[in-house]
Amino acid sequence: MAPVLFQARRWLPGTALAWDDGCVSTPDSPEQPPAPAGTVAEASESRIIEILLASYPQAAPAAAETHAHAAGSGVLLGMGDDAALLRFPGGRVLTTVDSLVEGQDFLREWPCGYRTTGRDVGFKSTAQNVSDINAMGGRSVGALVALSLPRDVELAWVQGYAQGVSDAARVLGADGFGIVGGDLSLAGEVTATMTVLGSPGEAVVTRSGAKAGDRIVVAGHHLGRADAALSLLNSTEPQDRVETWGDLERRVAEAMFRPLPPLSVGPEACRVLTSLMDVSDGLLRDASRIAAASGVALRLDPAAIDEEGARLSGWAGRHAGDAVRRVLLGGEDHLLLGTCPPHGPLPDGFRELGTVTDGQGVWLGERSLDAARGFDHFS
Amino acid sequence: MAPVLFQARRWLPGTALAWDDGCVSTPDSPEQPPAPAGTVAEASESRIIEILLASYPQAAPAAAETHAHAAGSGVLLGMGDDAALLRFPGGRVLTTVDSLVEGQDFLREWPCGYRTTGRDVGFKSTAQNVSDINAMGGRSVGALVALSLPRDVELAWVQGYAQGVSDAARVLGADGFGIVGGDLSLAGEVTATMTVLGSPGEAVVTRSGAKAGDRIVVAGHHLGRADAALSLLNSTEPQDRVETWGDLERRVAEAMFRPLPPLSVGPEACRVLTSLMDVSDGLLRDASRIAAASGVALRLDPAAIDEEGARLSGWAGRHAGDAVRRVLLGGEDHLLLGTCPPHGPLPDGFRELGTVTDGQGVWLGERSLDAARGFDHFS
């Protein structure tokens, strides 16, 4: 089945979300509770939790404990106690954590004037974590969220965070995924830390299985979208001001906060792929991780990279400047990067980017690339 | 078996830790790597991760996947991929998250002049989370840590954080517990968010099972210790300056950062208790949660509360002023609070604090207490 993510202008049944070549527009949904007034400083902890719980997605309940062999993972005990209790058939659990920190991963207001919404942060929190579970061939079951909030944050922003988590679960097709616990703190800056627990598929694929002769493959949108978004958001040029944005700019900016990890293809592809990972720090840097973990060289095909660049240019227009550099180095796209045995059809949703050879490092044709040029939070 | 936590002046075999009525002193351990020089700003992300991994506790490996019925939870895949893979026999997982935020949960330098160490934060991160798993009758298996670090934090502080996590695992007896994943961010303030995954015991006990006639029970150190520590740390009196501290002050201050949840008694007690929770927000506030969840009244025995106050006074001297108030309202002690059927012996390590009756709320003898006076991060 072709992943639904790549279909243009498709309305998802039962939602108020419109797709347009990967651009998700999220108009107010009629069934949402009214936006609360006031700031975090004016609300009690229990009021803030109430706002969050009203909009967080609910994880699917697990089969009752008395049916020990019933299929299906899910929640046995959710919020309200010291810990949540989840069921995982087979007793194996995948788990990962990621933080979004104000000032580091996003700005409340960007140089171009765009103000990051709670929905933006909630969607991205969720997408980047479920992408990690997907990259191991698993399905996300539940998550815990630790939110740190400055006193001046609007309660409507907090509600937006929870709605963004729900949007992501629905839009990405994370069926049954929900929030099962959390923690709230006052702080000087917004931090959203999400830990996801997932149920592995039959095969768990790591970064260390690539073999010489394999094909390098990628699934999801074209590379470099989030990097184009970042340069628009960080622009101080008058023509990039948020007040002047048209459809194209809104779509490009949204790529920063609406990553679209291809959840529909991860678990199935793991039956075939020899290595797999989430591309979050840029193609070059992440490819070098597979190369190092597998003890091989990853040789990208210049024509395939040019093709990615051309797709980026077509999508982002003048915001895609230096497109091939964005394709190679841009982070935060949350695609899947993997390697596939040399023969047989590619797994659904994947395209080819090059080949694995003996040696080490990442190459663009015959040119050795320096992985240290990739994205590093601490550089 | 009496919990080892309450034995005075006991040296734990194989460690460099000395116990003195619950005071843990942690001299430099000879097998530790040398303290790194410099600050976060001067190190790469991979260098910081290397420092952390050298001192984090390693989770016990699980039985190989081919032995599907082998007993024992543990790690199948640890760090280095998009997600960790853990095994849980029976397929049930307990999970909880807590953050420690600079400026909210601790100060880099307190009014008395004490500077919070990385070991302090690492120990408390761990203790407060494993206490939540203990309060559900489970055993902690692995944890993920999201650390946000300002650029000016010393690398030695970061190493101390990891050592504090290891100290806690060893001192609290969390056998096999280890760090299986994490995330690092730059930020304006230190935030340590830990998510723990645990294996439930035969019985999972929640807050909602208390019945009229039950006895109210508590396990762990006397109540109010962390509150006494907090008032010493926050003191601006010249006689409380850190430079003047003697053994008593060091012991009292340490109660803030070395909570000692009684892990040895949680799972076993769950075979008997009707409700159980971690006391983190103060006896009154947490008792009111059991009362509300169970639809009963919790009636504390004034003589038992006075006895707790007397123990606190004996331990903290002049820093225990207004001891009964600290016993009722002081947070962050991380004891176990539960209810036990009316007849039969108390579970090992528990003492009686009162009785459950029909009605609602929390009472001190015939006096109704106001739970809103408890500790609330957002009040």
Q: What is the pLDDT of residues B41-96, one digit of tens each?
A: 999 988 999 999 999 998 888 754 433 333 578 888 888 888 898 888 889 999 99
Pairwise CA distance, residues B124 & B159, whole Å:
15
Is residue A27 scored above 80 in pLDDT? no
Pairwise CA distance, residues A17 & A22, whole Å:
11
Burial (CB < 10 A; 0-12, 13-18, 19+), residue B102, is: buried
CB distance B98–A45 less than 8 Å? no
pLDDT of B48 reads 92
Q: Which residue of A has its CA nearest to B139?
A: A83
Pairing of strands A138-149, A367-369: unpaired
Residue-wise DSSP of A302-343: HHHHHHHHHHHHHHHGGGGSSHHHHHHH-----EEEEEE-SS
Find where tokens 């893979």 sit: B85
Pairwise CA distance, residues A286 & A86, whole Å:
32
Cα atoms in the Cβ-side hemisphere of radius 13 Å centred on A288: 18
Is residue B374 scored above 60 in pLDDT? no
Using 50, 70 and 90 to split pLDDT, how confident is the model at A60?
confident
What does DSSP assign to residue A154?
B
Is residue A218 scored above 60 in pLDDT? yes
pLDDT digits (tens, 9 = 90+) for A317-337: 999 999 999 999 999 999 999
Pairwise CA distance, residues B280 & B124, whole Å:
12
CB distance A133–B82 less than 8 Å? yes
Q: What CATH architecture applies to the domain A215-373?
A: Alpha-Beta Complex (3.90)
3 state SS of A379: coil
Angle formed by the axes of helices B118-134 and B247-257, nearest 10°: 60
Is residue B231 scored above 50 in pLDDT? yes
pLDDT of A363 reads 96
Interface test with B, best of A45, A47, A93, A99 (most B CBs within 10 A): A93
Q: Which residue of B has its CA nearest to A73?
A: B91
Q: How far is CA B315 from CA A10, A316, B332, in A?
A: 68, 67, 17
Angle formed by the axes of helices A118-134 and A155-172, nearest 10°: 30
Angle formed by the axes of helices A302-316 and A225-233, nearest 10°: 40
3 state SS of B99: strand
Q: Indicate the domain borders of chain B.
A: 8-200, 215-373
Q: Which residues of A touch B82 (CB under 8 A)?
A: 96, 131-133, 135-136, 277-278
Using 50, 70 and 90 to split pLDDT, how confident is the model at A188?
very high
For residue B310, the surrounding DSSP H or E stretch is helix B302-316
Please give the order of strands across the beta sheet that includes B367-369: B275-279, B335-340, B215-219, B350-357, B297-300, B361-364, B367-369
Is residue A241 scored above 60 in pLDDT? yes
pLDDT of A192 reads 97
B255 with B22: CB under 8 angstroms? yes
pLDDT digits (tens, 9 = 90+) for A8-24: 222 233 333 333 333 44
Pairwise CA distance, residues B17 & B14, whole Å:
9
Pairing of strands B367-369, A335-340: unpaired
Region A41-47: mean pLDDT is 90
Q: Which residues of A touch B206 (CB under 8 A)?
A: 77, 80-81
Cα atoms in the Cβ-side hemisphere of radius 13 Å centred on B278: 29
Nearest to A318 by CA among A254, A374, A240: A240
Region A271-286: mean pLDDT is 95
Considering chain B, what is the average pLDDT of its residues? 87
Is residue B29 scored above 60 in pLDDT? no
Q: Which residue of B has its CA nearest to A102?
A: B187
Token pair in block for residue B270 = 């769950």
CB distance A189–B188 less than 8 Å? yes
pLDDT digits (tens, 9 = 90+) for B85-127: 888 888 999 999 999 999 999 999 999 999 999 999 999 999 9
A84 with A93: CB under 8 angstroms? no
B197 with B142: CB under 8 angstroms? yes
CB distance A187–B182 less than 8 Å? no
Query: Which residue in the set B40, B148, B378 is minimally distant from A48, CB to CB?
Result: B378
- Interior angle at CA B159, CA B158 and CA B160, nearest 5: 90
Nearest to B127 by CA among B336, B286, B306, B289: B336
Token pair in block for residue B221 = 């150190």
Pairwise CA distance, residues B334 & B135, whole Å:
10
The class (CATH top level) of B8-200 is alpha beta
Burial (CB < 10 A; 0-12, 13-18, 19+), residue A111, is: middle
**Which residue pairs from A9-12 have beta carbons closer than 8 angstroms and sit at least 24 positions apart in sequence?**
A12/A170, A12/A171
Is residue A281 scored above 70 in pLDDT? yes
Please give the order of strands across the beta sheet that includes A191-200: A178-186, A138-149, A191-200, A92-101, B84-87, B74-77
Pairwise CA distance, residues A311 & A215, whole Å:
21
Binding-site annotation, residues of A: 82, 96, 98, 105, 132, 182-183, 207, 278, 280-281, 332, 375
Residue-wise DSSP of B149-171: E-TTSBHHHHHHHHHHHHHHHHH
Q: Which residues of B touch A65 (CB under 8 A)?
A: 92
Pairing of strands A297-300, A361-364: parallel
Q: What CATH architecture applies to the domain A45-200?
A: 2-Layer Sandwich (3.30)
Give the gap in angstroms from C-alpha B371 to the nearest C-alpha of chain A: 13
Query: Which residue in the set A68, A94, A186 is minimally distant from B83, CB to CB?
Result: A94
pLDDT of B195 reads 97
Residue-wise DSSP of A11-26: BPTTSS-EEETTEEE-
CA dihedral (B354, B372, B234, B96) positive or negative: positive
CB distance B148–A191 less than 8 Å? yes
Neighbours of B280 (CB within 10 A): 23
Using 50, 70 and 90 to split pLDDT, how confident is the model at A29?
low
pLDDT of A22 reads 39
CB distance B206–A40 less than 8 Å? no
pLDDT digits (tens, 9 = 90+) for B160-190: 999 999 999 999 999 889 999 999 999 999 9
At residue B165, what is the residue type?
A: V
Residue of higher predicted confidence among B108 and B203: B108
Neighbours of B276 (CB within 10 A): 31
Q: Which residues of B touch A74 (CB under 8 A)?
A: none
A4 with A264: CB under 8 angstroms? yes
